[in-house]
Amino acid sequence: MRAVRYGGPEVLTLAEEPVPEPGPGEARVRVRAAGVNPADWKTYSGAFGTDPARLPLRLGFEAAGVVTAVGEGAAGPAGPLAVGDEVIGFRLSGAYASDVVAPGSAFVPKPAGLSFEAAGGLMLAGATAVHALTATGVGEGDTVLVHGASGGVGQMVVQLARARGARVVGTAGEASADVVRRLGGEPVRYGAGLADRVRDLAPGGVDAAVDTVGADEAVDVSLALVPDRGRIATIAAFERGAAEGIRVLGGGPGADPGTELRDAARPELARLAGEGRLVVAVAATFSLAEAAEAHRLGMQGHTHGKIVLVP
């Protein structure tokens, strides 16, 4: 099989490896599309620490594909897995590959109407968004401020907040205001004067905020506008968020990983996406051999949707 793995801080290499066999309870999936996430480059940039003993690293936490082999008793949340099933895998290890093996519990059915590319980029961002909105208690009648509303996670937060009956004010640059608007959010330009622009748009106040950017501006403006710190969540400002007593979500130190909640969100995310009620914008696709190029694009921080690798 072919698989992308870590060869040094700047170098991703494509390596030939034997196709893995699933053990008991596991399934093997032929990857049709693997989602690219900032966590992927943070894994080898040193942002998550450096441990030479872990090299070479296999990258990729999510993918959509077709089951090609099952170990004894392999089952996902929707029941037993069988060869030929179209599935979405989340919490994978090494999804940047032509084939991936994982416990059956990692796989939920892919709705027939959802493309492999969209399905491959759905779960990490979608489950993070569900976690953020649940942690901040966003519901009917709330006004929620979403920082980074045009990004991979931000677009999910906007759509799912709207589905919960909230009004969404979403920060975006000039070039991505329309992205936010199309999803039912009200775009506001980030940068100096942000708090005043949000106040002008929402004179009745802001009930909750979700920060997917991690910049001081996002935290400062959230603190200035949201009266209850328990209703401010960040998925990117780990140190600052902890110091300010806001909700810090994800895999960082001291953060709430929300593992059960995120895993439980998968069937609903798949259903909504399959029905076309949750749009996964695919911003760009690359081959496995182009993984480094995909990362260079993502690292610029201005893509408006998911980057996906297609083996």
The pair of three-digit structure tokens given for residue 190, joined into one six-digit string: 């980030």
Whether the CA torsion 146, 60, 63, 81 is positive or negative: it is negative
Distance separating alpha carbons of residues 95 and 56, to the nearest angstrom: 14
User: Which CB atom, from 15 or from 259, has the smaller least distance to ligand NAP?
Assistant: 259
Whether the CA torsion 130, 135, 139, 145 is positive or negative: it is negative
Does position 213 bind ligand NAP by CB under 6 A? yes
Of 43, 98, 128, 143, the residue at the interface with ligand NAP (CB under 6 A) is 128
Does position 121 bind ligand NAP by CB under 6 A? no
Does position 61 bind ligand NAP by CB under 6 A? no
Does position 246 bind ligand NAP by CB under 6 A? no
The pair of three-digit structure tokens given for residue 171, joined into one six-digit string: 């920060």
Of 236, 272, 280, 308, the residue at the interface with ligand NAP (CB under 6 A) is 236
Say which DSSP state 194 is in: H
User: Which CB atom, from 89 or from 298, has the smaller least distance to ligand NAP?
Assistant: 298
Q: Are 304 and 283 in contact (CB under 8 A)?
A: yes
Phi, psi (deg, nearest 5) at residue 281: -75, 120
Quick one: which segment of 7-15, 70-78, 86-94, 212-220 binds ligand NAP (CB under 6 A)?
212-220
Distance separating alpha carbons of residues 261 and 107, to the nearest angstrom: 16
Site residues (CB under 6 A) for ligand NAP? Answer: 37-39, 124-125, 128, 147-148, 150-154, 171-173, 175-176, 190, 212-215, 235-236, 249-251, 298, 301-304
